[in-house]
Chain A
Amino acid sequence: MSKQIKLKKGFDIRLVGKAEKKIGDFQPVKTFAIKPTDFIGMQRPKVLVKEGDLVKAGTPILFDKKMEKVQYVAPVSGEIVEIKRGEKRKLLEIKILADTEIDFESFEKFTEGDIQAASREKIVDHLTVTGAWPQLIQRPYGIVANPEDEPKAIFISGFDTHPLAPDYDFLIKGQSNYFQLGVKALQKLTKGKIYLGLSGENKSSEFSNIQGVETSYFSGPHPAGNVGVHIHHLAPVNKGETVWTINPYGVVQIGKLFANGNYDASKLIAITGSEIKTPLYAQTYTGSCVDSFVSGNTKTEKIRVISGNVLTGEKINRDGYVGFYQHQITVIPEGDYYEFLGWMKPTKEKLSYHKALGLLSFLFPKKEYVLDSNARGEERAFVQTGVFESVTPMDIYPVYLLKAIMAEDFDEMEELGIYEVIEEDLALCEFVDVSKHPVQEIVRKGIELIQYS
């Protein structure tokens, strides 16, 4: 029997530039990159290739010396053209110039029966060697799962409620057989359940008939689609427990790996945002350079390109690369301008969760907004209360948690639920905050304090 969970708290940020469910005809992408910084918690990245090396899709190019078993592999075949390092030689990007025809490393193939018969160890080994493993994320901490652990459950969120988020039904269209096979493989990894969270608003989907999962339906505003919210309501993470999460894309990738014996990093990316001329989906591979999607396709020149969505994404260059876990890029106007009496001017062009003097966006609940990257004020001490709670559909006191982190009070952080959140779960707080705190940065700091204590 499936659970229905109705969430009231939260806020939908409606923006201009949602991608139409069509695959666009973009220039082929030439370079791809793996960015070690995408893998939060990777401590000692070690590169396995040199510039000039030739790799196939699935060839290991990177690993973390703290978790040697897990290989990070090339998404496409081609030549390693650059290993980019930043300040203090920090590893930033490993760039691959892609072949026009992708050549795959070949791995063992599994039928459903083979998976059933295989030991857990064999499945784990197969996933770690082939590069599919980093799709599994561990909670607490939101880091790549440790193959030595056994989670109490695995969570998959089948929809995304972030601003301009891609439609997951469209992303995995026609691939539900791979998804099903992926689920079978995941079942070997945990003795607990595999939870699939779906949107309560749209009940028939690619995921409707998947076997071996416990389906729950979540309805309500963002963050209803966040896997962290699902975990909180279905089987919350307590101290000392571990659960894993995985994106539907990762499940499909695992399914393909077992069925076809190759590491298939092909994916759809939603090209979204108010500055994009024609917001569509692009067919590409993991770590794709965004140049082909952005150049010539923007309405204005003063833009910010974001890998991911506007709440949790990361600013990248116009020729930067889509993050490993992202299925979306968003292009918005850069907001580096002064505004005369901007703090008091009545406005219906700027979106606000609040209704304070002159903020009129509440009158237009269905309107789609063009928001830029202006910081909209300066950081102050916490003053307004009750707002964070009203956008966080979890039994958590975000302000108390954030204050505990700022004070580096470990016991307090644990008691207030640091194990249950990662950045994205409190990202809305950062948006609505009157005092403009870097909420997500604070959350990560708290997680790191706990993780390495």
Chain B
Amino acid sequence: MEFLRNLLDKQKPLFQKGGKLENLYYLYEAGETFLFSPKHTTPPRGAQVKDAIDLKRMMITVVIAMIPCLLFGIYNTGHMHFLAVGETASFGDKFILGLTLVLPIVIVSYAAGGLVEATFAVVRKHPINEGFLVTGMLIPLVVPATTPLWQVALATVFAIVIAKEVFGGTGMNILNVAMTARAFLYFAYPAQISGDQVWTYLGDKAPIDGFSGATALAVAYQSGQEGVNAVSNLSEHNSAVMDGMFGFANMFFGFIPGSIGETSTLMVLLGAAILLFTGVASWKIMVSAFGGAYIMAAVMQLLAVNEFMAMPAHYHLVMGGIAFGIVFMATDPVSAAQTESGKWIYGLLIGVLTIIIRVTNPAYPEGIMLAVLFMNVFAPLIDHYVVKANKKRRLQRATV
């Protein structure tokens, strides 16, 4: 490590004030602080010792929590391909195929986003924000494996510039950055991110007879339209490919078509366990969002006027991206509600809205994306009233 340190120290003057590459100081700084935590000491007045945590560590914790989803997503991408074309393949083959599809998306997302981050850091003269570590991983996990790479790059750039940098960078944004990227793709290039054809990679092979690329939500929605029982329709779906693909258990484990990282509720819950154990994400948001979704789905079931509404409430929790969205997107501390009581309301409404959008809106099969973005916008309002209540308590005390 001496060697690395010496190398960095040798280059440092180049980037410092008066050096040739002075403008690129924050790039150097990002690299330096990645390798070595800085030797700054606390100021003479104030806290003389500091907690061992910093933002880098917090963000890397979130990235680690996403790894189960990523690994499963890589496998499942290959798995779905071989199911659809009717070939049997080994675990390794599936994983390698998945890797060749998913890894480029991850790389493009990090590269495009990293470039934007670095440009803004250099131009605005501020340190590169660690928030991008998380965003760069979230974006690949919420798009289908067939998404064109240029769309990934464009969406990443759009989201980071419009959702984050124009507000001043990490910590200042109003909307969840990764969700914004997905919404951008959804509205700009719907053909590549919705419908029945995008979720399973076929390559140049033809699918077997009777293959359907539809997602579980689309099938359930269809049941409502056609007036057939949603559960039996789901369980019979795609039987040419696999028996009971959309059975509850299989959907929970995640061997179903969908965006790369969101199909497996189990892996999402594993990530949630990491986030909750480390205390990085708010359990209040997770609990209230899942609760809100379940309650709303149960209410729908009670008031059912079609078969989709009559679907058992717990099915909603394993279908589509709701679990992933709640665990990784809704809990983003910057765009979520920031007061503790606000978090309950915020999470609850995300769950409720997701189900309302799913069930009653014919245009969007999935509701979590819009629910999170919508509640991101309302989070400051919720906080405003929570804080106002605090101010009111203070004021009332004064007059007594």
Query: Are B50 and A376 within 8 A (Cβ)?
Result: yes
Chain A residues near B43 (CB-CB < 8 A): 315, 438, 441
B40 within 8 A of A: yes
Chain A residues near B393 (CB-CB < 8 A): 395
Q: Which of B164-191 contact A (CB under 8 A)?
A: 168-172
Chain A residues near B54 (CB-CB < 8 A): 343, 376-378, 434, 436
A356/B280 contact (C-beta < 8 A), A378-B40, A378-B54, A431-B47 known: yes
A372 within 8 A of B: yes
* Interface bits B28-52 vs A (CB < 8 Å: 1, else 0): 0000011111111111111111111
Kindly list 6 other residue pairs between chains A and B, CB separation below 8 angstroms, not including A310-B47, A397-B387. A332-B49, A373-B42, A373-B48, A440-B45, A440-B47, A441-B43
Q: State the main secondary structure of chain B at its contact with A.
A: loop
A432 within 8 A of B: yes
Query: Are B278 and A382 within 8 A (Cβ)?
Result: no
Query: Are B171 and A433 within 8 A (Cβ)?
Result: no
Query: Are B55 and A374 within 8 A (Cβ)?
Result: no
Could you tell me how many residues of chain B have their Cβ less than 8 Å away from some Cβ of chain A? 61
Query: Are B170 and A380 within 8 A (Cβ)?
Result: yes
Tell me the smallest distance from the CB of A435 to a CB of chain B, in Å.
Answer: 6
A341 within 8 A of B: yes
Chain A residues near B398 (CB-CB < 8 A): 238-240
A352 within 8 A of B: yes
Query: Are B57 and A415 within 8 A (Cβ)?
Result: no
Query: Are A344 and B129 within 8 A (Cβ)?
Result: no
CB-CB nearest in chain A for B33: A378
B394 within 8 A of A: yes
Chain A residues near B395 (CB-CB < 8 A): 415
CB-CB nearest in chain B for A371: B49
Query: Are B51 and A417 within 8 A (Cβ)?
Result: no
Query: Are B41 and A385 within 8 A (Cβ)?
Result: no
B291 within 8 A of A: no
**CA distance in complex: A356, B240 (Å):** 46
CB-CB nearest in chain A for B399: A238
Query: Are B47 and A311 within 8 A (Cβ)?
Result: yes
A358/B48 contact (C-beta < 8 A), A375-B40, A415-B395 known: no
Chain B residues near A435 (CB-CB < 8 A): 55, 171
CB-CB nearest in chain A for B333: A385
Chain A residues near B279 (CB-CB < 8 A): 354-356
- The interface stretch among B264-272, B305-313, B334-342 is B334-342
**CA distance in complex: A311, B46 (Å):** 6
The 9 listed contacts between A and B (C-beta, < 8 Å) are A310-B48, A310-B49, A341-B35, A356-B280, A374-B39, A376-B51, A381-B171, A423-B46, A439-B46
A354/B51 contact (C-beta < 8 A), A314-B44, A389-B340 known: yes
Most buried by A among B35, B54, B60, B171: B54
A452 within 8 A of B: no
Tell me the smallest distance from the CB of B227 to a CB of chain A, in Å.
Answer: 46
Query: Are A383 and B48 within 8 A (Cβ)?
Result: no
Most buried by A among B5, B42, B172, B336: B42
Enumerate the 6 nearest inter-chain pairs by beta-carbon distance, A residue then B residue, closest first.
A381-B171, A377-B54, A342-B37, A350-B52, A238-B398, A315-B44
**CA distance in complex: A377, B54 (Å):** 6
B247 within 8 A of A: no
A432/B51 contact (C-beta < 8 A), A357-B278, A380-B171, A384-B58 known: yes
Tell me the smallest distance from the CB of A225 to a CB of chain B, in Å.
Answer: 17
A427 within 8 A of B: yes
A433/B60 contact (C-beta < 8 A), A337-B39, A381-B169, A383-B170 known: no
A314/B45 contact (C-beta < 8 A), A341-B35, A355-B277, A355-B279 known: yes
Chain B residues near A352 (CB-CB < 8 A): 51-53
A386 within 8 A of B: yes
Query: Are B340 and A382 within 8 A (Cβ)?
Result: no
Tell me the smallest distance from the CB of A436 to a CB of chain B, in Å.
Answer: 7
B205 within 8 A of A: no
**CA distance in complex: A441, B172 (Å):** 22
Query: Are A399 and B37 within 8 A (Cβ)?
Result: no
Tell me the smallest distance from the CB of B119 to a CB of chain A, in Å.
Answer: 19
Most buried by B among A415, A423, A440: A415
> CB < 8 Å: which of B37, B129, B340 contacts A339?
B37
**CA distance in complex: A26, B388 (Å):** 55
**CA distance in complex: A161, B321 (Å):** 47
Most buried by A among B40, B44, B334: B40
* Interface bits B56-87 vs A (CB < 8 Å: 1, else 0): 11101100100000000000000000000000
B390 within 8 A of A: yes
CB-CB nearest in chain B for A369: B49
**CA distance in complex: A359, B56 (Å):** 13
Chain B residues near A342 (CB-CB < 8 A): 36-37
Tell me the smallest distance from the CB of A445 to a CB of chain B, in Å.
Answer: 12
Query: Are B48 and A356 within 8 A (Cβ)?
Result: no
> CB < 8 Å: which of B50, B171, B391 contacts A382?
B171
> CB < 8 Å: which of B40, B49, B58, B127 contacts A383?
B58
A19 within 8 A of B: no
CB-CB nearest in chain A for B391: A415
**CA distance in complex: A75, B334 (Å):** 51
B4 within 8 A of A: yes
B10 within 8 A of A: no
**CA distance in complex: A380, B172 (Å):** 11
Chain B residues near A389 (CB-CB < 8 A): 340
Query: Are A374 and B129 within 8 A (Cβ)?
Result: no
Query: Are A315 and B340 within 8 A (Cβ)?
Result: no
A304 within 8 A of B: yes
Tell me the smallest distance from the CB of B390 to a CB of chain A, in Å.
Answer: 6
A13 within 8 A of B: yes
A347 within 8 A of B: yes
Chain B residues near A410 (CB-CB < 8 A): none
Tell me the smallest distance from the CB of A330 to a CB of chain B, in Å.
Answer: 8
Query: Are A431 and B4 within 8 A (Cβ)?
Result: no
Query: Are B390 and A431 within 8 A (Cβ)?
Result: no
> CB < 8 Å: which of A330, A357, A382, A400 contacts B57?
A357
Query: Are B48 and A343 within 8 A (Cβ)?
Result: no
Q: Which of A209-267 contact B (CB under 8 A)?
A: 236, 238-240
